[in-house]
A and B are shown apart, each in its own frame.
Chain A
């Protein structure tokens, strides 16, 4: 049941996803508006300033898992440039999960930062 979003083989300098991260990021990318798989990976790349490169082999299974949990729903629609694409949308349940996960991750990041901070700053 556990999964790890893997780094892209293209660039070893990029960050590895921690367990459960990708789902939260997908939820976040859908917060403003529904989007398709391509749009989601674009969003994550841009927002992370290209630190995250989303591997489709991780993205697609993650989307299926979110669908199963009914945190998102999917619908085929026309994109602004007239192309048919499958759009994902947050459900109210997904929105709630995002809020919860967001505060959890922020605390985690803060704690990691404190622990890993240079010793001098701590003194």
Chain B
């Protein structure tokens, strides 16, 4: 090893060449010889010639000296390769098992790594994507809330850590005047946004600073998709006008095709400054977030400190209700991937464990084989092969096996990856981009080499310790069968059992969580329910009354439809996620500290909604038609809120809720009812506080109409379409589908990760079973003579079974004990991915241990049976 380092160092410092040094040394050597010859009385010329002769060939001497510094010749490497391939041909079944095992382990790792690389590691597709930061405000429990326009301007003008900043928000607008009215999706941005995301114009121009001013004329930059689809790819599109929500916007540019920002498809960009630019109130929030580009070398922490200093300064210069607000900053790459991040790292970890299992199996196979080859190795040593030369040859053989296994793994990964990409949930950003590319190939190569080294260590270590005389004598115990070999094998088996336990435990937890989530009662009946999503364009519905009248008319019609049992409407149905949260307080209760004002989700429902959904009314009343716009303002809250404030839900009735909390302006509502919790953020989430406004007092244009049906909800879809068209011929239907589909959608990601982890656990079980079988089988083979002797001395077959069985049991027990520790560690990491069960439940641990034990018993049964079938007479005769 030291020689290799010396050689590498020599290569690195080749500046003062070895050649010069050697040449000089040999010249000085010659001078010594000449001097000696002259001293003996030769003439100088003669002395020189004699010295040359005596020294020998300088060229070859120098060459051979230099050779000592070179790495092994290609020829020896090729020779090793040939030996390796010959070895594979000689024992094809052995090689096949090794290669398949490695292909499984390596392939699974490559597939998952490709996904991790595409989703988490590859830089975002924007210029300097790795420096893009998502900025919001934060206070108390709420982080990443919207940034106010004034704060944005101060951040942008006074920071020292950002190269550029841009505000952005989403908006849905109705496009009219081009055939049927359609709902379109816009990003409303300041001019820097398109610069930061690297957008380039295909035609026309992008926004400039002038477009950010409040008085600027309304302009729009359309995406290439919108241009080709809706504008028909019109080459004269620049200069045309679009009627959006009834207002005319002039098209100033068409963007070249480019990557999406977040996962949302956008039709066009509008300037944000026009609408937001004239606010003077520092605490007036819209829904704007800020995209920042960090200066090179600036850390996220630096940026936070920088922006916080600006916020503190503003709190003094322009005090208001939000003096405690600070900046929230997170890398865009992290915000985009969100909770996928943890899931993917978990999967990579799991698949890494599977690879370790595969390595262990291969190591144990190689060890058994090297035992069988002990004679061959002994002969090679006897005829002069050095230990190092032998080790190198064995390693080369392993590398050949691993390389073929890795190649097969690569093919396997390609297949798996295609399945993953097609079947994976759409909520994983950039999953579709996952492919076997250069970094993935590098990963595959590195993994393969590591696997070859790891799996190959066992036989290499024992190869040097072959006892020549023992191995050459026929039938003697050979290297791998010695104490060292057995210890190694036993360690492998216990490790395999431990890893399998960890994986079964983890996948058990996730499967249980998925079942809990799927069977979780969502707080309402989700069957026989249709969801009709509508969004009224403000141009044709310019008042709350108009919206109320439309929905009233539509729902009246739907109720008359045969097969419809009930109809209700809500702004944000269960599992639709967060449709807006805000602070609140209870007037009759002591005001909480500034930092701990509670947050609640807000929603709007009509008087028929709770009944149509079969949501349980816990206390008080539902909304009624008597809750009029001018009348006393009322809300219905969910049970979760009452838990925080009152010992029993009905005590909440009559109390008043202040929207915005005690420290800011906000209206006050009386609590008239309490309803059961529903899974607002998805089936696999814990309930959150929620406040419902009555639709009659607070009309929304975007509502989801829930239709409770008597029979199969899908059969009513055409009738409902007709009713919508009858109510407003120009109104696009956003979506219309059985509600169960809607409800299940957020579970796709959980199902995806659970399925993968389940597959890995199953792989682990198979590998472990094969490993246990192999090692025990070997154990029995080596002991056949011992068993024969025991039998001959009168031992019962049951005693043999007991003896061999207790050996297997000991291994399993140690493995399970180690695995229990590992599983406990894993449960800490899994805590946030688990739903509905505690990550530390002992039941799951016991179940996993039982499963692993059963697999171990199954795998051990054949070798144990063999142990009892040993023919004593025959063995003793043979010996």
Contacts and interface: CB of A to CB of B under 8 A. Distances in A.
Contact of A57 (B24, B29, B64): B64
Q: Chain B contact residues (Cβ within 8 angstroms of A): what range?
A: 20 to 34
Contacts of B28: 36, 38, 83-86
B68 A38 contact: no
A88 B388 CA distance: 27
B457 interface: no
Interface residues of A, number: 25
Contact of A81 (B6, B35, B64): B35
Which of B7, B28, B33 has most chain A Cβ within 10 Å? B28
A69 B1 CA distance: 9
A65 B68 contact: yes
A56 B388 contact: no
A45 to B, nearest CB: 11
Interface stretch (B52-60, B197-205, B545-553, B869-877): B52-60
A83 B386 contact: no
Interface in A5-40: 36-39
A56 B56 contact: yes
A38 B29 contact: yes
Given A38-B29, A83-B28, A85-B28, A57 B7 contact: no
Interface in A63-114: 63-65, 67-70, 79, 81, 83-86
A9 to B, nearest CB: 8
A70 to B, nearest CB: 6
A48 interface: no
Contacts of A61: 64-65, 67-68
A86 B25 contact: yes
Which of B7, B22, B55, B68 has most chain A Cβ within 10 Å? B68
Contact of A55 (B26, B56, B62, B389): B56
A57 B60 contact: yes
Given A61-B65, A83-B28, A2 B384 contact: yes
Contact of A68 (B3, B22, B60): B3
A60 B386 contact: no
Nearest to B388: A1
B61 A57 contact: yes
Contact of B61 (A38, A56, A81): A56
Contacts of A2: 384, 386
B487 interface: no
A91 to B, nearest CB: 11
B32 interface: yes
Nearest to A81: B35
Nearest to B384: A2
Contacts of B7: 68
A70 B9 CA distance: 13
Interface string B284-298: 000000000000000
Contacts of A63: 65
B602 interface: no
A1 B68 CA distance: 9
Contacts of A39: 32
Given A68-B2, A68-B3, A83-B28, A60 B65 contact: yes
A4 to B, nearest CB: 12
A69 B3 contact: yes
Nearest to B68: A64
Contacts of A79: 32
A84 B26 CA distance: 11
Which 7 A/B pairs are nearest by Cβ-Cβ distance? A64-B68, A60-B65, A38-B32, A68-B6, A68-B3, A61-B64, A86-B25
24 contacts: A1-B389, A2-B386, A36-B25, A36-B32, A38-B28, A38-B33, A57-B61, A58-B64, A60-B26, A60-B65, A61-B65, A65-B3, A67-B6, A68-B3, A69-B3, A69-B6, A70-B2, A83-B28, A83-B32, A84-B24, A85-B25, A85-B28, A85-B32, A86-B21
Given A85-B32, A86-B21, 9 more contacts: A55-B56, A56-B55, A57-B57, A60-B61, A61-B64, A65-B3, A68-B2, A69-B6, A83-B35
